């Protein structure tokens, strides 16, 4: 590591401890909120984006139901009421745990406590060259890129005179049968069957072929077996062609190879594995097989107790099993870490983190979902209404509930999708902004 | 002109006349709607975008008040109920008036009547090299690019340690004092004073310096003199530094040169001249000084009576003066052209176009606007409420009224801007989509 110029030094007269939080996802944001306006700490919240993203609804942007701004809130806006929180827009490039420094392009930032909550990106199982042909769905740019590809494919199908190309345009392959993959496949089927059906003159969007490829034995494998089965039936009802225990062995510009069968498809979407942020490589601590940092029961690093790792970036165990990479886990971890920091500053011992599982849900098209909490299981319309209610309530914090609710009412009641915009990224003569 | 392959030939058994409309702006869309479901005609509506854009509200996207999808509707959705209208996504590259052919990358399209409604883009008065430094505001891409630049400038101001750079980041120059320029300058002042004020820790967004440069004697020169004066006062109240009768002589990466004074500004926005679509060069007819095609009283070309040119692309005169480039003009012209085509097919003579001027309005920040219709003039809160009411009513056609209304209620009541997203266009490894 090169020596870091410290531009963001601590003020000697300031007796407060500085907590630097990297990443304003569910984990980082909840930690920052918990520390907000607490005497004794100042907080620097760093993210390379200026917004916090409600990732579970990204597939709704990709399928033109919601706009980017409906599921994203400016971080500064969220932090405005906490005078002791400073938001720093930038990419963390270096970590110097020995000298307690975080490196950004603007220089080093000194910390007393460090919370790493950088999340995860897609993993192509050692085939990064597949990414251009099969984008994932973790960022807003990816969501609008997918929206562009999906809508353009229908346009191309309408225009082309070549029946082979038309079929490839109307074939969509989703790789991975977890919540993102299942929800995307369902939403795609919904669009083709209900939204676009009267839009075209030469093609019938109902001819759309949606293939969901899952290497495992069932879709939504984190749910109980009967709910997986119900989700499978719901997908089949929507006309989705689900291929279980099949493996994608090749992805290129013309389509995918599944086992020994070739599927010509202009649009391929990756919803399979994830891997944590590259920052873990700089920690010098033990990582699990997926690359997540192995943390102590209080979510700190054994080698550096003032450094915490949470969310998708961490491997935390409970009852002998690693916790899943879900928003509620990250959220609760952020809160727990912040509380432990405050306890320690008050002279109290830290407490181990305990995840409280409120259950899980996934929606498959309109009026279909699966949900389970404890022993209670819901399916069909009831599960979907529960999904809708919980998501609207959750989005209350986003201050976008009015807009999202009205979009949804509109969309579900009239089968319209307002965000059906094809916006190519060709306005490029203005130069590269760099990733900030 | 190279020979065109006709891929979209007319069906001999189809006795209907084909009307090809190029451009789905206000003019083209209103013509298509008027011809929708009319026996005797089939319509091909061509646009290089898949959406119709409500251009007068673009400045609200640029200033993070609305999302792109709030002011854009998919053209196919608008045309779905007209079985005789086919939407074609593509860029018109050639015209062959002699053979009645319109050329797109997918081949030639035969027409009986042609309606050209391609609108206008910004004109840099012979200095196209200024464009990268001072984008205009005619497209959604430009609006989101401006949003990116504006929000990034505040972020950079917060981060930088260099006071000179900080000042340049907080200086915004708007070139042109027409409606777009005045509304943009007002909205920028609103953001700096009311929206961002609690977001930053190191800068005070109220230190923002907004300069509006207008070469003429007054802002909003199409309004009567006292309303121009009132708009000028409203802008001054908001802290906008209006420079009348001054001329921008140089624009570069570091700022602008106004007369013999240099203004260092990281963000420059072009809202000065416009020029019509390049297609006019291929018409072989007389153009006015601004490049608009000179049309007959019925909006057709003298040399080709079955070709109509409308909206910003046309120079139509009324009472000896050219009609202004406004949405209502284009809208009424589209309707009139469609009616004349239907009259002609019914064996009736065409009627000359007559523009009915309902008045004009411009809004300057929150609760300030100017409006006039006939001899009635409104200013201040009353004009602003009229503006709000008329725009919400207008957007009813957009089916986005719920979302837009709720965004506006939110934004005006609580001083929030939900669409405050900085989205760099760096997701470029996926290749160039081309402009479709």
CA neighbor of A170 nearest in space, from A184, A182, A156: A156
Q: pLDDT class for B77, splitting at 50, 70, 90? A: confident
B92 to chain A: which residues are within 8 Å by CB?
A: none
Q: How many contacts, defined by CB atoms under 8 Å, are there between A and B?
A: 186
A429 to chain B: which residues are within 8 Å by CB?
A: 131-132
Across B345-372, average pLDDT: 91
Residue B277 and residue B122: Cα distance in Å, rounded? 10
Across A32-57, average pLDDT: 94
A69 to chain B: which residues are within 8 Å by CB?
A: 67, 418-421
Contacts (Cβ under 8 Å, ≥6 apart) of B246: B213, B214, B215, B258, B259
Name which of B86, B142, B430 is nearest A201 (Cβ-Cβ). B86
What was the pLDDT predicted at A367?
Answer: 81
Nearest residue in B to A198, CA atom: B80
Cβ atoms within 10 Å of B110's Cβ, excluding its own:
18
Q: Check CB contact under 8 Å for A433 and B148.
A: yes
pLDDT tens-digit profile of A343-385? 999 999 999 999 998 888 898 877 888 998 888 898 988 888 8
Q: pLDDT class for B389, splitting at 50, 70, 90? A: confident
What was the pLDDT predicted at B394?
Answer: 66
Range of A30-39, A189-198, A393-402 with top mean pLDDT: A30-39
Over chain B, what is the mean pLDDT? 88
B400 to chain A: which residues are within 8 Å by CB?
A: 418
Rounded (5°) CA angle B33-B309-B327? 60
Q: Report yes or no for ipTM above 0.85.
A: no
- pLDDT-wise least confident of A172-186, B190-204, B218-232: B190-204
Q: A interface mutation test: which of B201, B205, B269, B392 has the most A CBs within 10 A? A: B201
Residue B19 and residue B82: Cα distance in Å, rounded? 14
Q: Does residue A155 surpass a pLDDT of 80?
A: yes
Q: A interface mutation test: which of B5, B47, B69, B399 has the most A CBs within 10 A? A: B69
Phi and psi, residue B352, nearest 5°: -70, 150
Name which of A139, A141, A410 is nearest B402 (Cβ-Cβ). A410
Contacts (Cβ under 8 Å, ≥6 apart) of A213: A173, A174, A175, A176, A177, A243, A246, A247, A248, A256, A258
Rounded (5°) CA angle B419-B187-A74? 25
- For the stretch B298-335, what's the b/e string if a residue is b when 16 or more beta carbons lie within 10 angstroms of its beta carbon? bbbbeebebbbbbbbbbbbeeeeeebebbbbbbbbbbb
Name which of B50, B407, B416 is nearest A155 (Cβ-Cβ). B50
Q: pLDDT class for B435, splitting at 50, 70, 90? A: very low
Structure tokens at A120: 């995860």
Q: Check CB contact under 8 Å for A74 and B407.
A: no
C-alpha B39: how far from chain center: 33
Across B30-49, average pLDDT: 96
| Active-site pick, A42, A78, A183, A190 | A183
Q: Does residue A403 surpass a pLDDT of 60?
A: no
Helix, strand, coil percentages (3-state) for chain B, rounded to 5, are 35, 25, 40
Nearest residue in A to B105, CA atom: A159
Q: Does residue B121 surpass a pLDDT of 70?
A: yes
pLDDT tens-digit profile of B132-180? 999 999 998 899 889 999 999 999 999 898 999 999 999 999 999 999 9
What is the rounded radius of gyration, in angstroms, for the C-alpha atoms of chain A? 23
Q: pLDDT class for B432, splitting at 50, 70, 90? A: very low
Burial tier of A86 (Cβ tally within 10 Å: 0-12, 13-18, 19+):
buried
A151 to chain B: which residues are within 8 Å by CB?
A: 50
Across B102-106, average pLDDT: 89
CA distance to partner chain B, nearest, from residue A257 (Å): 20
Cβ atoms within 10 Å of B108's Cβ, excluding its own:
20
Nearest residue in B to A156, CA atom: B89
Across B326-353, average pLDDT: 96
Q: Check CB contact under 8 Å for B49 and A419.
A: no
| CB-CB contact of A108 with A6 (8 Å) | yes
What was the pLDDT predicted at A83?
Answer: 94
Q: Does residue A436 surpass a pLDDT of 60?
A: no
Across A250-274, average pLDDT: 94
Q: Does residue A181 surpass a pLDDT of 60?
A: yes
Cβ atoms within 10 Å of B248's Cβ, excluding its own:
25
What was the pLDDT predicted at A14?
Answer: 79
Q: Check CB contact under 8 Å for A86 and B201.
A: yes
Q: pLDDT class for B191, splitting at 50, 70, 90? A: confident
What was the pLDDT predicted at A335?
Answer: 97
- Percent of chain B past pLDDT 90, that is, above it, reads 61
Across A261-271, average pLDDT: 96
Count of residues in chain A: 436
Q: Check CB contact under 8 Å for B403 and A400.
A: no
Q: Check CB contact under 8 Å for B418 and A399.
A: yes
Nearest residue in A to B402, CA atom: A406
- For the stretch A359-396, what's the b/e string if a residue is b when 16 or more beta carbons lie within 10 angstroms of its beta carbon? ebbbbbbbbbbbbbeeeebbbeeebbebbbeebeeebe
- pLDDT-wise least confident of B282-296, B316-330, B402-416: B402-416
- Percent of chain B past pLDDT 70, that is, above it, reads 88
Q: pLDDT class for A1, splitting at 50, 70, 90? A: very low
Name which of B80, B148, B420 is nearest A198 (Cβ-Cβ). B80
Q: Check CB contact under 8 Å for B51 and A421.
A: yes
CA distance to partner chain B, nearest, from residue A325 (Å): 25
| Active-site pick, B183, B190, B214, B372 | B183
Q: Check CB contact under 8 Å for A67 and B67.
A: yes
Across A318-342, average pLDDT: 95
CA distance to partner chain A, nearest, from residue B63 (Å): 13
What was the pLDDT predicted at A23?
Answer: 97
Nearest residue in A to B65, CA atom: A69
Q: pLDDT class for A406, splitting at 50, 70, 90? A: low
What was the pLDDT predicted at B409?
Answer: 58
Q: Does residue A331 surpass a pLDDT of 90?
A: yes
Q: Check CB contact under 8 Å for B155 and A73.
A: no
Across A155-181, average pLDDT: 95
What was the pLDDT predicted at A106?
Answer: 82
Nearest residue in A to B141, CA atom: A427
- Helix ranges, A378-430 (H): 380-395, 401-414
Structure tokens at A209: 């072929």
What was the pLDDT predicted at A395?
Answer: 62
Q: Does residue A401 surpass a pLDDT of 60?
A: no
Between A215 and B9, the more confident residue is A215
Name which of B80, B152, B402 is nearest A436 (Cβ-Cβ). B152
Torsion angle defined by CA atoms of residues B69, B74, B78 and B84, in that order, rounded to the nearest 10 degrees: 180
What was the pLDDT predicted at A359?
Answer: 87
Active site residue A183: yes
Q: Check CB contact under 8 Å for B399 and A416.
A: yes
Q: Check CB contact under 8 Å for B424 and A436.
A: yes
First to last CA, chain A: 22
Nearest residue in B to A86, CA atom: B201
Between B96 and B69, the more confident residue is B96
CA distance to partner chain A, nearest, from residue B428 (Å): 8
Q: Check CB contact under 8 Å for B410 and A432.
A: no
CA distance to partner chain A, nearest, from residue B379 (Å): 30
Q: Check CB contact under 8 Å for B106 and A159.
A: yes
What was the pLDDT predicted at A413?
Answer: 56
Residue A344 and residue B32: Cα distance in Å, rounded? 69
Name which of A50, A399, A430 is nearest B151 (Cβ-Cβ). A50
CA neighbor of B229 nearest in space, from B173, B172, B177: B177
């Amino acid at each position: 590591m090169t020596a870091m110029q410290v531009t963001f030094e601590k003020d000697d007269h300031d007796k407060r401890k500085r907590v630097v939080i990297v990443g304003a996802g569910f984990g980082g944001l909840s930690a920052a909120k918990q520390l907000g306006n607490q005497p004794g700490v100042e907080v620097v919240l760093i993210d390379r984006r200026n917004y916090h993203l409600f990732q579970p609804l990204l597939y709704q942007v990709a399928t033109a139901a919601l706009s980017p701004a409906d599921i994203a809130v400016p971080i500064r806006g969220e932090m405005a009421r906490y005078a002791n929180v400073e938001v720093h827009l930038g990419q963390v490039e270096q970590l110097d745990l020995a000298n307690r420094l975080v490196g950004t392009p603007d220089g080093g930032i000194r910390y007393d406590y460090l919370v790493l909550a950088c999340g995860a990106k897609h993993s192509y199982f050692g085939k990064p060259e597949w990414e251009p042909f099969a984008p994932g769905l973790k960022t807003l740019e990816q969501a609008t890129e997918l929206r562009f590809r999906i809508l353009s494919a229908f346009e191309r199908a309408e225009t082309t005179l070549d029946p082979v190309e038309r079929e490839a345009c109307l074939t969509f392959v989703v790789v991975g049968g977890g919540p993102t993959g299942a929800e995307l496949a369902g939403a795609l089927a919904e669009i083709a069957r209900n939204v676009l059906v009267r839009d075209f003159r030469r093609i019938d969007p109902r001819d759309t072929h949606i293939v969901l490829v899952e290497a495992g034995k069932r879709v939504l494998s984190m749910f109980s077996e009967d709910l997986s089965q119900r989700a499978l039936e719901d997908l089949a009802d929507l006309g989705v062609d689900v291929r279980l225990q099949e493996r994608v062995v090749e992805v290129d510009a013309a389509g995918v190879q599944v086992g020994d069968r070739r599927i010509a498809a202009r649009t391929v979407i990756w919803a399979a594995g994830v891997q944590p942020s590259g920052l873990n490589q700089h920690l010098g601590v033990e990582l699990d097989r997926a690359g997540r940092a192995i943390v102590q029961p209080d979510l700190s690093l054994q080698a550096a107790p003032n450094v915490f790792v949470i969310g998708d970036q961490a491997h935390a165990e409970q009852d002998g099993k690693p916790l899943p990479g879900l928003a509620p886990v990250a959220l609760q971890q952020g809160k727990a870490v912040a509380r432990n920091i405050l306890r320690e500053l008050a002279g109290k011992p830290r407490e181990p983190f305990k995840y409280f599982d409120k259950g899980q849900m996934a929606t498959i098209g309109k009026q279909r979902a699966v949900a389970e909490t404890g022993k209670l299981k819901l399916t069909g319309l009831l599960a979907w209404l529960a999904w809708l209610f919980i998501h609207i309530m959750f989005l209350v914090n986003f201050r976008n509930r009015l807009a999202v609710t009205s979009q949804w009412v509109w969309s579900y009641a009239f089968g319209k999708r307002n965000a059906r915009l094809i916006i190519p990224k060709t306005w490029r003569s203005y130069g590269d902004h760099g990733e900030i």
